[in-house]
Amino acid sequence: MRAWLLVEAAWNSRFKARVGRDLNERQQGLSETIRTIAWKGQLRLTSRYAALSKRGIQANKVCVAVARELAGFVWAIGMHAQREKAAT
């Protein structure tokens, strides 16, 4: 995954975590474990963004820090999906 894509996605952490209609439709067919990891990721990243912003850290630096954590959640979901695929 490209770094700029992670940073662009991290900007969405400014907003409250939620599962909208579109996201809910995209998640159909995914395992419950993957959906849980994704939800935990949303909660953690939004709280991390808020905490760093509250400390007065520059918005771009906050976003890059959140992008780094997002990479970890992407990795976790990928590993779990790989295990699920191997099990079938």
Q: What is the pLDDT of residues 23-78, one digit of tens each?
A: 889 889 889 999 999 999 999 999 999 999 999 999 999 999 999 999 999 999 99
Taking the C-alpha atoms of residue 45 and residue 41, their distance in angstroms, rounded to an integer, is 6
How many domains does the chain divide into? 1
Q: Which residue has the higher pLDDT, 45 or 84?
A: 45
Structure confidence at residue 78 (pLDDT): 92
Query: What are the C-alpha distances in Å from 62 to residues 28, 33, 57?
Result: 31, 28, 6
Structure confidence at residue 2 (pLDDT): 81
- Residue type at 58 in one-letter notation: Q
Taking the C-alpha atoms of residue 39 and residue 32, their distance in angstroms, rounded to an integer, is 10
Dihedral sign from CA coordinates of 27, 32, 38, 40: positive
Domain encompassing residue 48: 3-87
